[in-house]
Amino acid sequence: MAEELLYHYTSGEGFIGIINSGKLWATDALYLNDARELQFGRDELYEALLASANEFDPGDAEPLSDEQDQSLARATVLRSAADELRKASGPFLSGTYADYAVYVSCFCYGEADLLSQWRGYGSAGGFALGFNAGKLAGTTFPDESARVSLAGVNYGEAAIADIIDWALTVAMPQVPLGFPGANGAVVGGRLLLTALAALKDVGFAEEREWRLIVPANPKSDLVRFRSGTITPTPHIELEFDPRALREVVVGPGPHQELRMASASRLVGSHGMLWVKVVPSKLPFRG
């Protein structure tokens, strides 16, 4: 996977911004075009966490044995993580925001010339930027408490079951330390929301999507806003290794040869002579 290319489809303006700044934008997932971002599978995961917590909770037994005390602590972690997921379920309706937002930058695995992507993101003079997956995984964000991860998106109901199994067997601490409630909030806000950001309805499977995912404080001064189709859209900036960029595919449409020449000059002006510039082969006019 390390040498494979992941393609980021963008407009001409986006292409210029990425090359000039050396940064990718990661958008708050709740503002993306999939209305079920972070919601697909969330209810099932929430219920599974609570069910597991009820199994561990020793009830009204007094006094607690050491084993019961550990079980109660684990139940507290599970319930706290579930509460964090519930916070992330509807900030637009409740008027409040969760302690964590999840920011994502999207790519297609091995799909350099996908018609649906040109239509959605790169029409009217778009570009697909091919990044080396291994180097892209080293992308950074200035806030060291917010870990950047590169993950492939999983699709459909079977993927929900896999995430539940992972959450209950791997993500949750087997022996809670410190304050279980705070521990669970961190697990729910960072690990579980990140996992939900890599889960989508099977209808999106054609995209073969991979994502850079960053759980971060939505009130951070590193959050920026740009104009969106509906409302100002929050995003953060991620810095990538220039050598991660390997290829630029010039999208279909008019004046393709002129746009290829311009793209070559743009990457060349930044000394990125290793970047290959190629044309889309699709007869799509945009």
Q: What is the pLDDT of residue 286?
A: 64
- The mean per-residue pLDDT over the stretch 182-189 comes to 77
Q: How many domains does the chain have?
A: 1
Could you read off the pLDDT of 216-241 as tens digits, one per residue? Answer: 888 889 999 998 878 899 999 999 99
79 or 133, which is more confident?
133
The yes-or-no verdict on residue 182 having pLDDT over 80 is: no
Among 14-18, 114-118, 153-157, 255-259, the least confident range: 114-118
Could you tell me which residue, 88 or 136, shows the higher pLDDT?
A: 136
**Is residue 265 a part of any domain in this protein?**
yes
pLDDT, tens only, 27-76:
999 898 888 898 999 999 999 999 998 888 756 555 444 455 778 888 88
10 Å Cβ neighbour count for 243? 12
Q: Which has more pLDDT, 214 or 3? A: 214
Look at residues 15, 42, 13, 18 and name the one whose alpha carbon lies nearest to residue 30. Answer: 42
Is residue 285, in this structure, part of any structural domain at all? Answer: no
Question: Is the per-residue pLDDT at 171 higher than 80?
Answer: no
Asked if residue 240 lies in contact with residue 26, where contact means CB atoms within 8 angstroms, the answer is no
Residues 163, 165: Cα–Cα separation, whole Å: 5
Residue pair 155/200 in contact (Cβ under 8 Å)? The answer is yes
Peptide bond between residue 63 and the one before it cis (omega within 30 degrees of 0): yes
Its domain, for residue 166, covers 5-279
CB burial of residue 283 (10 Å; 0-12, 13-18, 19+): exposed
Length of the chain: 286
Query: Which of these ranges, 12-26, 225-239, 267-281, has the smallest mean pLDDT?
Result: 225-239
Q: Residue 80 gets which letter from DSSP?
A: H
* Predicted pLDDT of residue 92: 41
Euclidean distance between CA atoms 197 and 33, whole angstroms: 13
What is the CB-side half-sphere exposure of residue 129 using CA atoms within 13 A? 27
Average pLDDT, the chain: 86
What pLDDT, on a 0 to 100 scale, did the predictor assign at position 64?
47
pLDDT at 276: 97
Separation of first and last alpha carbons in the chain? 32
Does residue 286 lie in a domain region? Answer: no
Instruction: Measure the CA–CA gap between 217 and 150, rounded to whole angstroms.
Output: 19
Burial grade of 257 (CB within 10 A; 0-12, 13-18, 19 or more): exposed
C-alpha to C-alpha distance for 227 and 242, rounded to whole angstroms: 26
Lowest mean pLDDT among 118-127, 130-139, 155-164: 118-127
Answer whether residue 284 is part of any domain: no
**106 in any annotated domain:** yes
- 243 in a structural domain: yes
Is 0.85 surpassed by the pTM of this model?
A: yes
Residues 264-274 have a mean pLDDT of 97
Average pLDDT over residues 142-167: 93
